[in-house]
Amino acid sequence: MPSISMTVNGQAVTGEVEGRTLLVEFLRDTLGLTGTHVGCDTSQCGACVIHLDGVSVKSCAVLALNADGAEVLTIEGVADGDDLHPMQEAFREHHGLQCGFCTPGMVLTALALVADNPDPTDAEVRHGLEGNLCRCTGYQNIVHAILDGAKRMRG
Amino acid sequence: MNKVSFGDTVRRAEDHRFLTGKGNYIDDITMPGQAHGVVVRSPYAHARINGFDADAARRAPGVLLVVTGADWAAQGFGPIPTKSAVKENRDGTPIAVPDRPCLAHDRVRYVGEGVAFIVAETRDQARDAAELLDVDYAPMDAVTHPVKALEPGAPQLHDGIADNLCVDWELGDAEATEAAMRAADRIVRLELHNNRVTGAPIEPRGAIASYDAGTDSYLMYQATQNIHANRNTTAEILGIEADKIRHVGPDVGGGFGAKNSVYPEPALVLHAAKTLNRPVKWVNDRAESFLSDTHGRSQYSTVELGVDDDGTFRALRTTTVGELGAYCGTVGAFTPTGGSARTQGGPYGFEAMYYSARAGFTNTAPLDPYRGAGRPEGSFQIERIVEKAARELGIDPVELRRKNLIPKERLPLKTAMGLDVDCGDFPTVFEQALAMTDRVGFQARKAASEAAGKRLGFAIAPYLECTGGMPKEHAVVTFTADGSAHLAVGSQSTGMGHETALPQILAATLGLDMARIGFTQADTDATPLGGGHGGSRGMEMGGNAVLQTAGEIIEKGRAIAAHLFETDVDKIDFEDGSFFEKDTNHIASMTEIIAASFDPERLPDGMEPGSLNTGSTFERGIISIPNGCHAAEVEVDPDTGAIAVTGFWVVDDFGTIINPMLADGQVMGGVGQGLGQALMENAVYDEASGQLVTGSLIDYALPRADDMPPMTLEYYEGAPTKKNPLGVKGAGEAGCCGAPPAIVNAVLDALDGLGVTHIEMPLTPEAVWRAIDAAGS
Ligand code: FES
Ligand code: FES
């Protein structure tokens, strides 16, 4: 089996994978980083969103082999120890999560969105979430959380 | 000290875990030495199975166990029972309940039905082996349409069950309804379809179990909403004692009813874990979720409203055809019968009502409760016929509703469907919702919309609801000498936030620091009984169980305080977290009493250290009646049929609100699902092949962020129910009752004048465009 190496949440990691192993499987099963979730098999739900070399991607749609040498950020790497990132704080403050299953993907999508557009409108946030499904919240509190998270990040 | 009260917006305890990736969902759990199971599912809607050839699958790399339907049948395990509350037809004969095996062995009846369970070292190996299992199928004709299934000559699903009919049922007074219909100036009639949908929680179903040969017992984690009941039923299937299974619900990624039922897979997982004597894990993928999760709704109904020319409602009659799918689900026949009949007529007054339902078997996945389970169907039926009546009578739909709402003075009353409506104020709730919607500005918005070639519409939809679920709930509180507490409940959150709301009730009642209350839910070892989640029972059952337990703790605390103050118990009051002796300066905080409760020196006779620990079972008397009013404004593009919901307003009467932030979350999530059903969600089977056409998230449309309108929410808190001590009425399912009629009626209002009087859900752009086109030609 081929061996791959990458940096995940600032740590150098290596592991063996099959050709068909998905990046999300590598993260969850090999590295034990189970914060990245799998909600579908057609790249529709966004529960698996991570950052790959600074860009948000669906880790169920990337082969682990293709991430060899990359820099990966998962939900486990977002907070600073026990201190939540301002975007995570905003989700908690605005009740932007219920069951929490979509939440890691939502937070990482939000961070990428705000990196591109630090002061988005309500409509821009909604548009930016087109790759992420949430079945619990009706999205309103997620949108409010991202708008507030962006504001907190602007300082 | 983190002091809290009822009605406080307390931020969630569970969020830190979920936001940092530390949630513990079913697929996150690993047990040492675990193997992986996959279910081999039927590709045919209806077929005879002539045999299995499992040799190649058994020889495939990593394969540990192959259990075919034939192997399962040879073990002699029981069928999956149904627990429908409706057990008899209208003539008193029992409803038809076919045997439903965990794995089919001689015949499959829907695409996705399990025919084998394969366990291997890895999930991929199990999947690879599934490809090698050879099942000899002889396809048969299938029927997937609930009405056609009941027609003469339809393919028959079950030997010994005539005409595919499961249940034929009625409620109400047929004669009185007919008489009131005849006396009315006119009868308004509408045929409508409540579309088939599915809960689609983002986390798929799954389970992992280990077996301990020494004690002949099991530990099973499952992504389910109903730990105790499903443990008992699964044990019944396997023919073992229920207490041989410890059943635990970890963090569950949404349920909405789809994780409520007893499914075949957990029994397979337990069997495999015992056979292999190693832990076995199974998790569905999304395609399997669509095929094998329970679906909901799916009713074809004729609704008739007897109404006078001045708009007075006289009588309501609903005749429905529902469906069970291929077998009876856990709740099974109840949803299209009792579940849908109860709230018929909504919050309006009638002289008489009558409800008649038939439901049969189709070659589709079993149907069972989906958020609302019958109440959304009832709400949609009444609100659609009222809207149609308004158009036919030439009366403003708002006025027609206002005229017929049951006035506050008439409560309490029992509806013609037997529903015990104790309190509420429907007219006030209605006016409160209407006032939020900016009716004054509507004409200007409509003109602006028309100038842009669009059409604006508005509708208001009052609804009447009721709660349900298991009528008992248990809470246990255990203390530590340092004053911290642990709360365990048998009710269960699959996202609703009970980990926050229930400790909030305990902390508020006992005056404890909320940060020092631990929480356990959904564990058969933690509580002797529990009803899990379903029927909006979280606060009504779980909340009241906590309150009752807290009350018993206070009584014990008074005895300890009396002993410490050397006085009589009846001289001790409890207020704001402290015990007082009347007319003295004697005072002891709850925390001090907890400390004393561990000190034999400071306890009265008959109390042992730790005896403040208390478990109590709350039993519901009569279900509560949540109600409310939703309103929608929509903009339709008549050239494309595209709909934008531009505003949504809600007033709900849930009685006492414990944590408004969590209540808001329930309402908004429910509106999201209601909007989904109204505008885009549809579980479609191809009638010729019986294949599920909407078998992926590409084909089954869930609402996304930009489909949702801005929602404005208020509560009416003037009528806490006396049916339970907290005064709560259940918040979970309101959105699914209010949103579909509000949105569909608003679209029809937007199309007023074009000759479109009805469009079946979901109102996709294509459906709307075709309706406009057909009306114009
Ligand atoms: S798991 Fe659904 S998009 Fe990746
Ligand atoms: S919080 Fe449950 S899916 Fe979004």
What digits encode the pLDDT tens for the residues B198-233? 999 999 999 999 999 999 999 999 999 999 999 999
**B765 and B647 assigned to the same domain:** yes
Q: Is the pLDDT of residue B524 over 80?
A: yes
**B608 and B690 assigned to the same domain:** no
B543 CB-near residues (< 8 Å, 6+ apart): B501, B502, B505, B658, B726, B728
Q: Which among B593, B619, B645 is the end of a domain?
A: B619
Each residue's pLDDT tens digit, A85-130: 999 999 999 999 999 999 999 999 999 999 999 999 999 999 999 9
Output the CA–CA distances (angstroms, integers) from residue B687 to B195, B299, B544, in the order listed. 15, 17, 47
Do residues B545 and B531 lie in contact, with contact meaning Cβ atoms separated by under 8 Å? no
**B449 and B544 assigned to the same domain:** no
Type of residue at A118? P
Does the Cβ of A48 fall within 6 Å of ligand 1? yes
Does the Cβ of A132 fall within 6 Å of ligand 2? no
Interface test mutation site (partner B, options A36, A94, A99, A133, max chain B beta carbons within 10 A): A99
Do residues B529 and B458 lie in contact, with contact meaning Cβ atoms separated by under 8 Å? no
Interface test mutation site (partner A, options B19, B370, B666, max chain A beta carbons within 10 A): B19
Closest ligand, as measured to the CA of A95:
2
How confident is the model at residue A35, as a pLDDT? 98
Portion 33-92 of A in contact with B at CB < 8 A: 33-42, 44-45, 47, 74-76, 78-79, 84, 88, 91-92
Q: How distant is the Cα of A59 from the closest Cα of chain B, in angstroms?
A: 15
How confident is the model at residue B1, as a pLDDT? 72
| Pocket test residue of A48, A50, A62, A63 for ligand 1, highest count of atoms within 8 A of CB | A48
Residues of A with Cβ-Cβ distance to B662 under 8 angstroms: 95
Is residue B224 situated within a structural domain?
A: yes
Token look-up 């007919």 returns: B178
Q: How distant is the Cα of A81 from the closest Cα of chain B, in angstroms?
A: 10
What's the per-residue H, E or C state across chain A?
CCEEEEEECCEEEEEECCCCCEHHHHHHHHCCCCCCCCCCCCCCCCCCEEEECCEEEEHHHCEHHHHCCCEEECHHHCCECCECCHHHHHHHHCCCCCCCCCHHHHHHHHHHHHHHCCCCCHHHHHHHCCCCCCCCCCCHHHHHHHHHHHHHHHC
Q: How distant is the Cα of B382 from the closest Cα of chain A, in angstroms?
A: 25
The total number of structural domains in chain B stands at 3
Residue B5 has a CB neighbour count (10 Å cut-off) of 11
Gap between the Cα atoms of B145 and B166, Å rounded: 15
Q: Which CATH code for domain A86-154?
A: 1.10.150.120
Token look-up 């309490």 returns: B412
Tell me if residue B593 falls in helix, strand or coil. helix
Do residues B549 and B616 lie in contact, with contact meaning Cβ atoms separated by under 8 Å? yes
Q: Is the pLDDT of residue B173 over 80?
A: yes
Does the Cβ of A39 fall within 6 Å of ligand 1? yes
Do residues A135 and B673 lie in contact, with contact meaning Cβ atoms separated by under 8 Å? yes
Q: Domain range spanning residue B45?
A: 31-140+210-253+259-278
Each residue's pLDDT tens digit, B585-617: 999 999 999 999 999 999 999 999 999 999 999
Q: Are the Cβ atoms of B710 and A140 closer than 8 angstroms?
A: yes
Residue B613 has a CB neighbour count (10 Å cut-off) of 17
Do residues B285 and B321 lie in contact, with contact meaning Cβ atoms separated by under 8 Å? no
Is residue B190 situated within a structural domain?
A: no
The CATH number of whichever domain residue B232 belongs to comes to 3.90.1170.50
Residues of B with Cβ-Cβ distance to A102 under 8 angstroms: 202
Each residue's pLDDT tens digit, A12-29: 999 999 999 999 999 999
Token look-up 């149609």 returns: B388
Q: Is the pLDDT of residue B688 over 90?
A: yes
Do residues B118 and B65 lie in contact, with contact meaning Cβ atoms separated by under 8 Å? yes
Nearest-CA residue for ligand 1 atom 1 is: A38
Each residue's pLDDT tens digit, B478-508: 999 999 999 999 999 999 999 999 999 999 9
Nearest-CA residue for ligand 2 atom 3 is: A134
Tell me if residue B473 falls in helix, strand or coil. strand
Looking at CATH, the fold of the domain delimited by A3-76 is given as: Ubiquitin-like (UB roll) (3.10.20)
Residue B135: beta bridge partners?
B52
Q: Which of B519, B258, B274, B231 is nearest to B368 (CA)?
A: B258
Gap between the Cα atoms of A25 and B98, Å rounded: 40
- CA angle, corner A9, sides to A7 and A13, nearest 5? 35
Compute φ and ψ for B29, nearest 5 degrees.
Answer: -85, 130
CB-nearest to A41 from B20, B286, B662 is B286
Q: How distant is the Cα of A27 from the closest Cα of chain B, in angstroms?
A: 12
B728 CB-near residues (< 8 Å, 6+ apart): B539, B540, B543, B544, B624, B654, B655, B656, B658, B720, B721
How confident is the model over B399-424, as a mean pLDDT?
97
Is residue B487 within a helix (H) or strand (E), and if so which, with residue range? strand B485-489
Q: Which of B439, B338, B430, B453 is nearest to B383 (CA)?
A: B430
**B648 and B674 assigned to the same domain:** yes
Gap between the Cα atoms of B446 and B362, Å rounded: 45
Q: How far is the CA of B488 from the centre of ligand 1 (A)?
A: 34
Residue A115: beta bridge partners?
none
How confident is the model over B572-590, as a mean pLDDT?
95
Q: Is the pLDDT of residue B705 over 70?
A: yes
**B613 and B477 assigned to the same domain:** yes
Token look-up 């077998």 returns: B327
Do residues B459 and B397 lie in contact, with contact meaning Cβ atoms separated by under 8 Å? yes
Does the Cβ of B249 fall within 6 Å of ligand 2? no
Q: How far is the CA of B361 from the centre of ligand 2 (A)?
A: 33
- The strand pair at B47-53 and A49-52 is best described as unpaired
For the entire predicted model, the pTM comes to 0.98
How confident is the model at residue B213, as a pLDDT? 97
Is residue B290 situated within a structural domain?
A: no
The CATH number of whichever domain residue B576 belongs to comes to 3.30.365.10
CB of A154 within 8 Å of a chain B CB? The answer is no
Residue A1 has a CB neighbour count (10 Å cut-off) of 9
Q: How far is CA B269 from the centre of its chain?
A: 25
Q: Which residue of B has its CA nearest to A29?
A: B28
Q: Which among B588, B603, B619 is the end of a domain?
A: B619
CB pairs under 8 A between A and B: 176
**B375 and B425 assigned to the same domain:** yes
Residue B261 has a CB neighbour count (10 Å cut-off) of 27
Do residues B282 and B37 lie in contact, with contact meaning Cβ atoms separated by under 8 Å? yes
Is residue B220 situated within a structural domain?
A: yes
- pLDDT, mean over chain B: 97
CB-nearest to B253 from A99, A123, A143 is A99
Percent of chain B with pLDDT over 90: 98
The alpha-helical segments, DSSP class H, found in B293-334 are none
CB of A140 within 8 Å of a chain B CB? The answer is yes
Closest ligand, as measured to the CA of B255:
2
Gap between the Cα atoms of B313 and B405, Å rounded: 10
Each residue's pLDDT tens digit, B98-132: 999 999 999 999 999 999 999 999 999 999 999 99
Gap between the Cα atoms of B508 and B493, Å rounded: 20
Each residue's pLDDT tens digit, B371-388: 999 999 999 999 999 999
Ranges of each domain in chain A: 3-76, 86-154
Q: Are the Cβ atoms of B202 and A134 closer than 8 angstroms?
A: yes
Own/partner pairs for A116-124, CB < 8 Å, 24+ apart?
A: A118/A150, A118/A153, A118/A154, A119/A150, A119/A151, A119/A154, A120/A146, A120/A147, A120/A150, A122/A147, A123/B706
Residues of B with Cβ-Cβ distance to A101 under 8 angstroms: 23, 25, 201-203, 253-254
**B599 and B509 assigned to the same domain:** yes
**B218 and B364 assigned to the same domain:** no
**Structure tokens, B31:** 């047990």
Each residue's pLDDT tens digit, B646-663: 999 999 999 999 999 999
Burial class (CB in 10 A: 0-12, 13-18, 19+), B527: buried
Whether ipTM > 0.85 holds is yes
Gap between the Cα atoms of B54 and B58, Å rounded: 6
Do residues A59 and A50 lie in contact, with contact meaning Cβ atoms separated by under 8 Å? yes
Q: Are the Cβ atoms of B18 and A84 closer than 8 angstroms?
A: no
Burial class (CB in 10 A: 0-12, 13-18, 19+), A30: middle
How confident is the model over B22-43, as a mean pLDDT?
98
Q: Which among B225, B245, B278 is the end of a domain?
A: B278
**B504 and B372 assigned to the same domain:** no
Does the Cβ of A101 fall within 6 Å of ligand 2? yes
Residues of B with Cβ-Cβ distance to A98 under 8 angstroms: 254, 495-497, 665, 669
Is residue B203 situated within a structural domain?
A: no
CB-nearest to A140 from B21, B251, B708 is B708
Each residue's pLDDT tens digit, A122-154: 999 999 999 999 999 999 999 999 999 999 999
Interface test mutation site (partner B, options A98, A106, A134, A144, max chain B beta carbons within 10 A): A98
Burial class (CB in 10 A: 0-12, 13-18, 19+), B440: exposed
Task: Output b/e per residue, B157-184; b: 16+ Cβ within 10 A.
Answer: bbeeeeebbbbbbbbbbeeebebbbeeb
Q: Is the pLDDT of residue B777 over 70?
A: no
- The strand pair at B280-283 and B35-41 is best described as parallel
Gap between the Cα atoms of B393 and B387, Å rounded: 10
Does the Cβ of A79 fall within 6 Å of ligand 1? no
Q: How distant is the Cα of A131 from the closest Cα of chain B, in angstroms?
A: 8
CB-nearest to A137 from B15, B17, B669 is B669
Q: Which of B349, B350, B370 is nearest to B297 (CA)?
A: B370
Is residue B381 situated within a structural domain?
A: yes
- DSSP for B221-289 reads EES-S-HHHHHHHHHHHHTS-GGGEEEE--S----TTTTTS--SHHHHHHHHHHHHTS-EEEE--HHHH
Q: Which of B177, B63, B5, B121 is nearest to B658 (CA)?
A: B5
